[in-house]
Structure 1
Amino acid sequence: MIKRSAAVSALLAAATCVALLPLANPASAGPWDGVRSWETATVKRVVDGDTLIVNDEVTGAESRIRLLGINSPEITTSAHAGQCGGAQARKIMKSLVPVGTRVRLAAVDQASKGKSARPQRVVLAWNPATGEFDQDLAWAMAERGLGVWFTVAKEAAMSSLYREAIAGAQARGVGIWNPNLCRQALQPDAVLSLRIGRTPVGGGVA
């Protein structure tokens, strides 16, 4: 089951349209303060464990979305070899958001982008059981041990919440933290692998 945080619940319960929606109560400070829902879209394709191709429900525009909060192992492509756990991460992501799944895309800054100008977003999947966008994909991947922590500077406070799920997966030895996953003697270290991307002038981060 995909975990839903209290902060996400507050945003989604109040969300009744695609308009910009402030997440937090101004009277209470928290890591999700300032997070807004920028777009609602439909999944067209799962690229890998942290990247989706989606179509905006309003404009129909296609976007390549990079999940905030985690960095999943790479899959094998014509350009590079895959990493341990890459195939498993993509398989799990496909099971979480099959083609046609509706998703809501949230971030502190609508302009948050990474490599190849990919919008970087918290991706919340539609849950038919609750009638809400309450399934946090980055958290789901993190608690399955299929990603290390990743964010960009403007999104770091909110994205820090995913470290809890990553640490839990590491403690349980699941996913990439399982030494038997790819018969690797050493697994990535959750502390050493933390990445905070800072967008340079005229460029983006992965």
Structure 2
Amino acid sequence: MPRPTTIAAVTVIVGAVLVFLLVGRTGDTPPGDDAVSTTIAPVAVEANAVVDHVVDGDTIDAIIDGTEERVRLIGIDTPETKKPDTPIECFGPEATAFTEQLLPVGTPIRIERDTVGRDDYGRLLGYVYRADDGVFVNYEVLRQGFGTPLSIGPNTTFEQLFVEAARAAETDDVGLWAACSGAER
């Protein structure tokens, strides 16, 4: 089955990553925010959904063609805050708050799928981009230290990019890398 990811979207992503690697960080971090900005030159993308609710750091509800869908961000795992019979994990509330900051309710987004479209819980699996500036949300969550890479084949298109983002966050000692001991991650 062919991937629904368009060649144009992949070209934009690859170009954006190359710009980031060649130019570096823009320093657009809001005053008083300790996060390292990885936002690159804005590149808007065409929206195909709107954020309806942020469930936690790696799961959102989105409206797609008038229907609400639960969307699990591919390739990342954030600390648990809503798993039944499980305590809230270190940096879980912060990860949820960060995703809420990136994707406020009503934000137009682009969801791109990989090979497998849904997980065992029926959630849509997606790479999520903010439409107005093209921020790659899955990547940004990792780069800012709010999650760790989680690759489940065959949905591994950005596996190496995600590993590099998490490594950079760990090196910069940001997010959960600064706040949580190794056993809690």
TM normalised by structure 1 equals 0.64
User: Match of 2:53, as an amino acid?
Assistant: R
Q: Does 1:124 align with 2:129?
A: yes
Of residues 30, 50, 63, the one that matches 1:42 is 50
Q: Tell me, what secondary structure is at the counterpart of 2:150? A: strand
Unaligned runs of 5+ in 1: 1-18, 26-36, 189-206
The structure number with the bigger radius of gyration is 1
Q: Which has the higher contact order (CA 8 A, sep 6+)?
A: 2
User: Match of 1:176, as an amino acid?
Assistant: L
Offset from partner CA, 1:117-166 (integer Å, 9 cap, x none): 11111000122xx5xxx111111111111111113212213332111110
How far 1:47 moved relative to its partner?
A: 0.4
Provide the rounded CA distance (Å) in 2 between the counterparts of 1:187 and 1:60. Answer: 39
**Equivalent position of 2:15 in the other structure:** none
Q: Tell me, what secondary structure is at the counterpart of 1:63? A: strand
Q: Which 4+ residue blocks in structure 1 deviate beyond 2 angstroms?
A: 19-25, 76-80, 157-160, 184-188
Higher strand share: 1
Q: Does 1:140 align with 2:125?
A: no
Q: Tell me, what secondary structure is at the counterpart of 2:80? A: coil
Offset from partner CA, 1:33-68 (integer Å, 9 cap, x none): xxxx9x811100000000000000xx2111000001
**Equivalent position of 1:164 in the other structure:** 164
How far 1:115 moved relative to its partner?
A: 3.5
User: Percent identity over the alignment?
Assistant: 26
Q: What is the RMSD computed on CA atoms of the aligned residues? A: 2.7
Task: Say if 2:57 and 2:99, in contact at 8 Å, map to a contact too.
Answer: yes
Of residues 67, 72, 97, the one that matches 1:91 is 97
Task: Say if 2:5 and 2:114, in contact at 8 Å, map to a contact too.
Answer: no
**Equivalent position of 1:197 in the other structure:** none
Offset from partner CA, 1:156-190 (integer Å, 9 cap, x none): 13332111110000111111111xx25x47553xx
- Indicate how the Cα distance of structure 1 residues 154 and 82 shifts in structure 2: closer, same or farther if over 3 A, else same: same
Structure 1 segment 59-98 matched on structure 2, within 5 A: 59-76=65-82, 79-98=85-104
- Indicate how the Cα distance of structure 1 residues 157 and 185 shifts in structure 2: closer, same or farther if over 3 A, else same: closer
Q: Tell me, what secondary structure is at the counterpart of 1:135? A: coil
Unaligned runs of 5+ in 2: 12-44
Tell me the number of residue pairs that the alignment of Structure 1 and Structure 2 aligns.
149
Provide the rounded CA distance (Å) in 2 between the counterparts of 1:22 and 1:139. Answer: 19
User: Match of 1:142, as an amino acid?
Assistant: L
Q: Tell me, what secondary structure is at the counterpart of 2:154? A: helix
Q: Does 1:114 align with 2:99?
A: no
Provide the rounded CA distance (Å) in 2 between the counterparts of 1:170 and 1:135. Answer: 21
**Equivalent position of 1:22 in the other structure:** 7
